[in-house]
Structures are given as C-alpha cells and as structure tokens.
Chain A
Amino acid sequence: MSPQVETEGLVYRLTCYFKDPIRRNTFLEKSSIYLILFFVFLVATIASPVFIKARNILNVIRLASILGVVTVGQTFVILGGGIDLSVASVMALMSILSANMMEGKNELVLPVSLFCLGVAILIGLANGLLVAKLRIPPFITTLGMLLMVQGFRFIYSGGMPKGSIPDDLRILGRDLFLRIPVATWICIAVGFISWLILSSTTLGRSIYAVGGNRRCAYLSGIKVERVQIVTYVLSSFWAGFAGLLLTGWIGVADNWLGRGYELDSIAAVVIGGSVLTGGKGSVWGSLAGALMLAILYNIVVLLGLDVEMQRIVKGLVIISAVALYRRLSVR
C-alpha cells in the first residue's frame, strides 16, 4: 500500500480508537497526571522566564527527587489501603542520629547510614504490626508513631543536636552526577525498582489486592497481614533514605527536618492518581505528583507571592488537580 493510504489508515484507526468512550476515558485517566504535570510546567514557564533556567530546574528536580523517594514509600502504603503519617518524623530522626554518630567522619557514613536505615525499618515494622495484628487504624498508629519518634528524638538529642555531617553524605544530597543531581538518579532507581515490584511480582499484585478489597484478598489466600507489614516497612525505609538525602543536602542535624513531607507525600500520591482507600494507582503517577508539588513550591517564590497567597494557591492547585483527575477517570 502507498504511504498515503497507510497514514490515512492509521489516522482512521486512531480516531476509531478514541471514539470509543471507555477507551478514551481509560487513556485520559492513565495519563491525566502527566497531562496535568505538563500543563503546570507550561504555565510556570509562561509565568516566569526564570523557571526554565537550567540551574533552577536542577534545584527543583533535586528537591522533587527527595520528596519523590518519600512518596514512593507512601505509595506502597496507600496502595495497600493504609496511610503513613510518621514519615516526616522518621526523616528528622535520621538527621539527628546520623549527625551525632557520624561526627563528620567520612568512613562512618556507610555503617551509620545502614544503622539508621535499620532503625527506620524497625519503626516501619512497629507500624505494620500495630496496624496488621492489633487492627489499630493506620491514621492513629502512624500519628502515634510520629509523636513517639519525635519524643525519642528530643530525649536523644536533649533538644540540642550534636555532631556533624561528613562530606560523603553531602555528595549524595547535594552534588551532580553527569549534570543531573545524584538525588535524582537515586529517585529514578528507587522508582524503577518499586515499579518492578508493584507491576511484576506477586507481592505487588497482593498489595493492590489487599488495598482494593481486603476481605476478597484474604479469601483468595493472600497473607493480608504480611503484605500490610511489608508496605509499612517499605514506607519507613524509603522515608529514612530520603531523610539521609535531605540531611546530606542541608548539612546540619535538624530536629524538624522534613516538616510537612508527610502531607506533601500523601498529596503527591493522590494527585498521581492513587485512590486514598487503596487498590489503585502507580509509582510513576506519584512521582509526577511529587514533581508537580516541587514546581509549585518553586513558582510561588519566583512569582513573589505573599506567604498567605502561596498557601491559597498551593491548596487550590492540589484540589483542582485531584478534581480534574476524578472527572477524567473511568466511571
């Protein structure tokens, strides 16, 4: 067939494809977050020429990546039907522990980091056990854990964090590798691994099942409790990792590191297309949500908006994004 006919045929097939309302809606639903992200990016570029400058974009994606790592963990939990409010508290704990134990020595970065991540895993395990075995609602469990970890942080540091952050940890949080922030490479790797787990392993399928309908999952033979525990462990682990990255970026022990990241990560997951009740969503959507939030944080400063206006605008954009997603989703 001639190229002309072939193209016409392709166009005809595409239009038929999208004429089907269900097909059209599924496409829109799956890609809505990316469309919204692209839209926000476009508006930001038009609103401020500074936004598109290379250095600014790098700054934005670096912080988006750190939020992204937390968001990946939060995605696991929300997909499984839960929620994790303790992530910010865990991040701050990493900051206090790492500075105090590393004491500025490069050779201690790896062992102390592993220890800190171990502590994060234990916190996740505690969360998971309380939710799965004792059936305490996740909101309450993780809220309580947030407070307990905070209390521990203050007892441990006596209110005055000690120690300092070695240069090697700062490389992870702050520097570039092949012109792209190290944190971004890490976030992409984390996202890829998580996507693989969720899409191609039994564990992943089980998480979706448990989040979608716990009773059905249980009756299908899925070890619901085990799956729930795993999601909380993963969430705390990635939050801990993000905490180390952010500590590396800022270079100081801060009892309030990551403040707001729990709400930001939940917002990112929901913007990204996951349903708060669980069972539906994707890692890449959540990461796109995190990037959108980071862009928002950047653009409100670039536009010189008053701090009150900043809050209003952020809330408005988040609500609009989720409302638009709902509208475009398959009924």
Chain B
Amino acid sequence: MKKFIKLTTLLFLALFVSVVFIAAGSKEKAAPEKEAEEVQAVKIEKPAPGYHKPEVSTRMIDTSKYKKPAPWTIGFSNASLSNSWRVSFVAHLRYGIEELKKQGLVKNYYETNANDDPVKQIADIEDLVTKGVDLLIVSAATAEALTPAVEKVMDQGIPVITVDRNISSDKYVTFVEASSTEMGKLQAQWLAAELQGKGNVVCLPGLAGATPAEDRLAAAKKVFSQFPGIKILDVQYTSWSPVEGKRIMQTLIQKYPQIDGVWADSGLQGSGAAEAFMDAGMEVPPITGEDFNRFLKMWKKNNLTAVGVTFSVRMGYEAVQIAKKVLQGEEVPHHDVVPNLVITEENLDQYVRMDLPDDYWAESMPEVAEMLFGK
C-alpha cells in the first residue's frame, strides 16, 4: 500500500510538471497575436554619433579639508578583474596614475583585487588604510556590505571616490560612473528610429539582478513604450555571455518568425545573437551593443545595421582626475557622470580595430590600448 502511494505521488508530480509546461505553452498560443498597427510614425531622431553627456543634477563638494601637499599615496580597492571590461577599466585607472607619477604628484600607488568577495574587499580596504593612503578609490563588490567600511574611511578623514559601482549611503566624496540609464535609452532610441516606430523587437539584457543590466533594460522599455507600433516579443537574460546570447537567440529565431530588431545592452551577447542569425542563414536585423571589439568587427565585416553605446572604460581615468582635484582642494561634483559614446556607421571606422583581439574595448584611450596590446 505504501509503495503504491509513493508511486502515485511521483506520477502526480510528473503530471503536475507536465501540466505546468503545457499550460505555459498554451498561454503563449492563447495570447492574441497583436499585429503591429498602422500608426502615425512618431518622429524620432537617431542619436548622433559622438559623445552624449546626460543631465545630472548634483551638488558640488568642498574639498579644501582634503588638500594635501604632493606627492600623494593613492589606493584603489577593486571588486574584481573577472572580465575584459574590468581589465580595461583598471588599465585606464593605472594609466591615470602613471601620468600623475610622471608629474611628481603621486609617489605610491597600491591596488587590491577582491575577486568579487565583499568580505575580502573590506579587509583590502583596511590594509590600504594601514599603508597610509591619502585617498581611496573604491569599486564596491556589493553596495550593502562595503558601506560601513567606506564610511569608516571617510570618518578617518581620508577622502573616498567610488567608481563604477557605488555604496548604498551618501558618505563619499564623488561617485564616478557612466549612466546605464542613458545607455539603454540611447540604444533603444536608435533602434526605434531605425524601425521607424514599428516592428517586433527582442530584448537581451545582461545578468539578471545586476543594476547596470536592470537600469539599461528599464530605460529601453520606457523608450519602446512610447511607440505603440513597437512590440516587445520577448525579454531573455543572457548573463553577458556570448554563448548564452547565441543559444537563446537561436531558440528565439525558431519561435518568432518575424524579428525586426534586437536590443542587447552589450556586444558580448549581441555578437552571439548576430551570429545566431547568420548561422540560420537569415539577415541580421538592426541590433544594438556597445564598444566590444568583436561586435564592432562583426558589424564591419558583415555590413550589419547596428549601433554601439558605450559604458565608458575611461571612467577609471576620470576617477584619477577627480582624485587629483580632491587632493588639490578643488571643488568636485558629488556625482560625476562620464559621457556615453555613440558609435554609428558614420564613426565606426574610427573605433573598430580589426588588428586587435575581440576583447578590446574600442572606446579605450589610445595610450591605454598601447599599454595593453603594444599597438
């Protein structure tokens, strides 16, 4: 009797799971196929190629109390070097430091890498303070965990500049970043303009739950919602992986017979998605990305219709410029936003580097590219 009950429970479990699948499947079929309506084409301009600086309202910070005579000791606590974007970003920071060293303004530079572990990063910050840094630059592994550590440093009178990722309180001198919201918005605006306000669009954001990915997706959705003619067919997270991008895109190609545009926040999954179309023998629809070199190379080689809006690796260099101002007692903004570069077919040739590897970030300063690749 017991065995019978167990067996039937399992069969019911199996049945339940299959019902979930079939229900989910039929929900897809039941949803009426809304045809892209004939609408008055809403006027939208494609973003112009070149730099776009978003409007940021912020207050200026008086840094006279941090003024110190040169040469300085600067410390940088990095969250991780887990992908080539971060490597490029840190290279820009190091280049900024090198410049200051040459000017005799910096005598010591210490850098730590926490490997995405917030606990290690807290220890790293304590080490840097013990080493006697005049200023700390931090890219926090997680906002919550690092907040007390950063606040403690500020309490000790050492100025802190947060870059790329922030803490959750307001206790820092300046937060340097590029706007993810602006990035997603510009990409979506380009796509909406390219499609002239109507068509079927697939969204491929990055890592589920990561603030840059969520901010960009929210901004893009907001833009698309202004166009009743644009229908978002699907939103699938890709973990910023070319493998995931290609795998998911090739499945979506089978599912949706008509895909007019692809919004991807990065060329990492974007390059995978483009390849999925090419493998299927289809023309690649208009697609968005940023300055990931593989994406740009593919764009150039295959004559794609695409746009790149960068999440600037130069913010590392900018953080050092702000550091210099702080230690010289100059006023700095509390929130410093680095402009996003828009790459279109007009300026593509300026940025794509066919001679450099796929993992080159095309907005890099030429001096840094030289440093990393020797060319």
Contact = CB atoms under 8 A, between A and B. Distances in A.
Interface string B217-258: 000000000000000001011000111001110111011000
A254 B242 contact: yes
B7 interface: yes
A163 B22 contact: no
B273 to A, nearest CB: 12
A324 B234 CA distance: 34
Contacts of B255: 48, 50, 301-302
A140 interface: no
Nearest to B249: A301
Contacts of B251: 56, 59, 298, 301-302
Interface in A233-252: 246, 249-252
A193 interface: no
A212 B93 CA distance: 56
B279 interface: yes
Interface string A157-194: 01111111000000000100000000000000000000
Contacts of A159: 81-84, 86-87
A27 interface: no
B28 interface: yes
Max chain B Cβ within 10 angstroms of own Cβ: one of A39, A303, A313: A303
Contacts of B25: 46-48, 302-303
A47 B22 contact: yes
Nearest to A317: B17
B254 A161 contact: no
Contacts of B272: 250
Contact of B242 (A43, A252, A323): A252
A255 interface: yes
B39 interface: no
Given A53-B254, A327-B6, A250 B243 contact: yes
A324 B22 contact: no
- Which secondary structure dominates chain A's binding surface? helix
A320 interface: yes
B360 A160 contact: yes
Contacts of B21: 43-44, 47, 299, 303, 313
Given A160-B360, A301-B248, A303-B25, A55 B17 contact: no
B22 A46 contact: yes
B24 interface: yes
A327 B7 contact: yes
Using C-beta atoms within 8 Å of the partner chain, give the interface range for chain B: 35 or more
A55 B280 contact: yes
B208 interface: yes
B185 interface: no
Identify the interface centre among A47, A56, A160, A249: most chain B CB within 10 Å of its CB: A160
A63 interface: yes
Interface in A118-168: 154, 158-164
Contacts of A16: none
Contacts of B84: 159-161
A154 B279 CA distance: 30
B254 A56 contact: yes
B243 A257 contact: yes
A160 B359 contact: yes
Contact of A47 (B24, B280, B294, B373): B24
Interface of B: 6-7, 10, 13-14, 17-18, 20-22, 24-26, 28, 81-84, 86-88, 208, 234, 236-237, 241-243, 246-248, 250-252, 254-255, 271-272, 275, 279-280, 294, 357-360, 372-373
Interface of A: 39, 43-44, 46-48, 50, 53, 55-56, 59, 63, 154, 158-164, 174, 246, 249-257, 259, 297-299, 301-305, 307, 313, 316-317, 320, 323-324, 327
